[in-house]
Amino acid sequence: MSNPKYKNMVLIKSLSLITLLFIFITACNQNNNTQNRSDNPSDTNQIVQYNKQDIEQLYRNKCLICHDLGTSEANAIAPPMVSVQRRYKMSYDKKEDFVKAMVAFTENPHEDKVLMTKAKEKFNIMPKLGYNQKDLEQIASYIFENELPQPAWYDEHFKKEHGSFKTVQNVGSNNPDVLLYNKCVICHQKSKLQTKQLAPLISEFTSVYKQKYKSKEDFVKAITNFVSQPQKDKALLSDAVNTYNLMPKMNYNVETIKAIASYLYDNSKENISKNIAKISPQLAPQEQNPESVYNSRCKICHDVDRPRNEMLAPPMVNIKKKYSRVYPNKEDFIKGIVNFTKEPELDKAMMFGALKQFELMPQLNYPENELKMAAEYIYNTEFKKPEWFK
């Protein structure tokens, strides 16, 4: 006859094994669900609730494995994420555009999409990782919204690679002083860097607009409308149009124009001048060389990283291609660029499609030695094609 005590022990062991097996299967299923959420690019329709901890964990697990802060510069296998953030914000100041561009590149890294050309030369192009699109969108949003820590060696590295030249993004993209400096001061301020004035001074057009539009709302609206779509019949400074010609369409983001206009309304001309003078040394390159002159003189309009609808002039890759065909010799190439930029005229123009889209380039009155340096940089540089370029 069987021992009842033995039977009970067998039963207890069996139940224990079944319970452990159930727990193991449940854990595996949960792990698979998490894995599917994070790494299955085809499962984009699954509704997932993210909290802050989830997103921070995704960022650490998906990005910092390569973009590690603790790695020395010599042993790094990818640029630090603060550098990636800085570079993308240079091209995409709106969160929606920033996220879209970062997700598009991470999902399908391609040379035509590369923004960080020096990083690509050093580390090669990022591999295709197959991460879930929803996860990538959350990670990119996190990168856009947060101040990311930087490696101890980053400041010295940045200075070595880029000199003292700074941009609106790494000084503070929400700072209206910096927006005004980057978007307006290049034309609307007297400068020893110009051979003559290019446009009415900031104080001049601000004063005229304040006289006509007493409320801030009307002032901002009028400035925004004119800058978004300059027309002679809208111009309040008719003498300035006769002197400097009509302002070209700049294709700036409407929210950026509104921020600048609000700042102009809220501040006196003395305060604006003081603030601009204060930040100017931070933003201007201390030493002039072909690259720094190109960045401060040409890139603002011919930037290959701008979205198509925000281009102010043809991308530089087009200009170089056209001029190289006509002037294969470096000396002739530089001379051709300088002659046209000094005195833009229809009979000198080579890019008729660009004329139709952007109209004739305004006369900028830059010193000839700077034009030569910029032209030399254009001749020696391989510009990447914009993402939209065909």
Q: What is the pTM of this model?
A: 0.40
In a domain, 389, yes or no: no
Of 241, 265, 285, the position where a domain reaches its end is 285
Same-domain check for residues 189 and 253 = yes
Same-domain check for residues 107 and 201 = no
- Residue 13: its pLDDT value, please? 44
Which amino acid, one-letter code, is at 263? Y
Which amino acid, one-letter code, is at 58? L
Would you state the structure tokens that stand for residue 109, as one six-digit string?
């890294």
- Residue 69: its pLDDT value, please? 67
- Residue 6: its pLDDT value, please? 45
- Residue 287: its pLDDT value, please? 58
Same-domain check for residues 96 and 66 = yes
Rounded CA-CA distance 315/306 in Å is 9
Of 113, 129, 162, the position where a domain reaches its end is 162
**Tens digits of pLDDT across the chain (390 residues):** 445 544 444 444 444 444 444 444 443 443 444 444 444 444 444 445 678 888 888 888 888 878 876 667 777 888 888 888 877 876 677 888 889 989 999 998 887 777 777 777 788 888 888 888 999 999 999 999 888 887 777 777 766 655 443 443 433 446 777 777 777 776 776 654 455 567 888 888 888 899 999 999 999 999 999 988 888 888 888 888 888 778 877 667 788 888 889 989 998 878 877 776 665 554 444 456 888 788 777 877 787 676 676 677 888 888 888 898 888 899 999 999 999 988 888 778 888 777 777 777 777 767 788 889 899 999 998 887 777 665
Same-domain check for residues 137 and 240 = no
Of 134, 162, 190, the position where a domain reaches its end is 162
In a domain, 19, yes or no: no
- Residue 174: its pLDDT value, please? 60
- Residue 18: its pLDDT value, please? 45
Q: Which of 91, 96, 105, 92 is nearest to 133 (CA)?
A: 105
Same-domain check for residues 129 and 184 = no
Rounded CA-CA distance 301/306 in Å is 9
Same-domain check for residues 93 and 126 = yes
Rounded CA-CA distance 132/311 in Å is 32
C-alpha 178 chain-centroid distance: 15
- Residue 218: its pLDDT value, please? 93
In a domain, 138, yes or no: yes
- Residue 37: its pLDDT value, please? 46
- Residue 222: its pLDDT value, please? 92
With b for 16 or more beta-carbon neighbours within 10 A and e for fewer, the 317-344 pattern comes to: bbbbeebeeebeeeeebbebbbebbeee
- Residue 27: its pLDDT value, please? 39
Phi, psi of 240, rounded to the nearest 5 degrees: -65, -35
Would you state the structure tokens that stand for residue 271, as one six-digit string?
């305060």
In a domain, 8, yes or no: no
| Structural domain for 243, as ranges | 169-285
What is the secondary structure of 271-330 as a DSSP string? HHHHHHHHHHHHHS-SS--HHHHHHHHTHHHH-TTS-GGG-SS--HHHHHHHHHHH--SH
Q: Which of 390, 181, 389 is nearest to 304 (CA)?
A: 389
- Residue 219: its pLDDT value, please? 92
- Residue 166: its pLDDT value, please? 41
In a domain, 221, yes or no: yes
Same-domain check for residues 173 and 279 = yes
In a domain, 41, yes or no: no
Report the CATH number that the domain containing residue 234 is assigned in CATH. 1.10.760
Same-domain check for residues 235 and 192 = yes
Same-domain check for residues 183 and 270 = yes
Same-domain check for residues 226 and 277 = yes
In a domain, 117, yes or no: yes
Q: Which of 108, 133, 115 is nearest to 58 (CA)?
A: 133
In a domain, 45, yes or no: no
113: burial class by Cβ within 10 Å (0-12, 13-18, 19+)?
middle
Same-domain check for residues 228 and 310 = no
Looking at the structure of the chain, the number of domains it has is: 3
Would you state the structure tokens that stand for residue 361, as one six-digit string?
């380039």
What does the H/E/C string look like for the chain? Answer: CCCHHHHHHHHHHHHHHHHHHHHHHHHHHHHHHHHHHHHCCCCCCCCCCCCHHHHHHHHHHHCCCCCCCCCCCCCCCCCCHHHHHHHHHHHCCCHHHHHHHHHHHHHCCCHHHCCCHHHHHHHCCCCCCCCCHHHHHHHHHHHHHCCCCCCCCHHHHHHHHHCCCCCHHHHHCCCHHHHHHHHHHCCCCCCCCCCCCCCCCHHHHHHHHHHHCCCHHHHHHHHHHHHHCCCHHHCCCHHHHHHHCCCCCCCCCHHHHHHHHHHHHHCCHHHHHHHHHHHHHHHCCCCCCHHHHHHHHCHHHHCCCCCHHHCCCCCHHHHHHHHHHHCCCHHHHHHHHHHHHHCCCHHHCCCHHHHHHHCCCCCCCCCHHHHHHHHHHHHHCCCCCCCCCC
Phi, psi of 61, rounded to the nearest 5 degrees: -75, -35
Same-domain check for residues 277 and 299 = no
